[in-house]
Amino acid sequence: MPGALHPFFLFAPLTSGGVRLMNFRTCQAQAKKKEIEKQPEQVILSEETAIDEYFKPIDKNAQILTDMQLEKEEKQMKEMLQVMRGQIQMQREIETRKAEASAVEPVDTQASATTAEVPPKQENAK
C-alpha cells in the first residue's frame, strides 16, 4: 500500500522507483519552527498584557484621584459663580439706591431753593 498513511510516516508519491518518506519528526520540527516564529509576537503580547495588568490598579487609583480633583474644581467653580452672582446683585442694589438718591436730591435742592426765595414771615409786624 504505497499511498496509505502510517501513524509515524507520511508517504509521498513514488518517484524514480523509490518512495520518498517524510518522517513524522520532520513534520513536528516544521510545526515547531512555525510556532517559534510566532513566539516573539506572543512574547511581546504577553509582556504587554503583564504590563497592563501591573498598572491596572495604579491606573484605577489615578482615575479616582482625577475624578476627585475634577469634582473639587467643579464645586469651587459653582461656589465662585454663586459669590459672583451675589456681588452683582449687591452692585445692582447699590446703583439703584444711588440712582434713587440722586433722583430725590434735586427735589430737595429745588425745595430748599424755593424756600430761600420766599421771604420769611415776620411775626413782629403788627
**Mean pLDDT across the chain, nearest whole number?**
77
Sign of CA dihedral 34, 38, 43, 49: negative
Give SS3 for 13.
strand
Check residue 18 and give its pLDDT: 44
Per-residue pLDDT, averaged over 40-44, amounts to 81
Report the predicted TM-score, pTM, of the whole model to 2 decimal places: 0.43
Indicate the DSSP class of residue 118. S
Check residue 14 and give its pLDDT: 47
pLDDT > 50? residue 97: yes
Give SS3 for 7.
coil
Question: Are 10 and 22 within 8 A, CB to CB?
Answer: yes
Poorest-confidence range of 27-31, 54-58, 60-64, 85-89?
A: 27-31
Per-residue pLDDT, averaged over 70-82, amounts to 97
Q: What is the torsion angle, in degrees rounded to the nearest 10, for the CA atoms of residue 74, residue 80, residue 83 and residue 88?
A: -110
Give me the residue spans of the domains in the chain. 24-101
Check residue 119 and give its pLDDT: 59
Give the residue with greater pLDDT, 4 vs 102. 102
Q: Residue 13 corresponds to which cell in the numbers above?
A: 508519491
| CA dist., res. 113 & res. 107, Å (int) | 10
Question: Are 11 and 21 within 8 A, CB to CB?
Answer: yes
| 116: confidence class by pLDDT, cuts 50, 70, 90 | low
pLDDT > 70? residue 72: yes
Provide the CB-side half-sphere exposure for 120 (13 A, CA).
Answer: 4
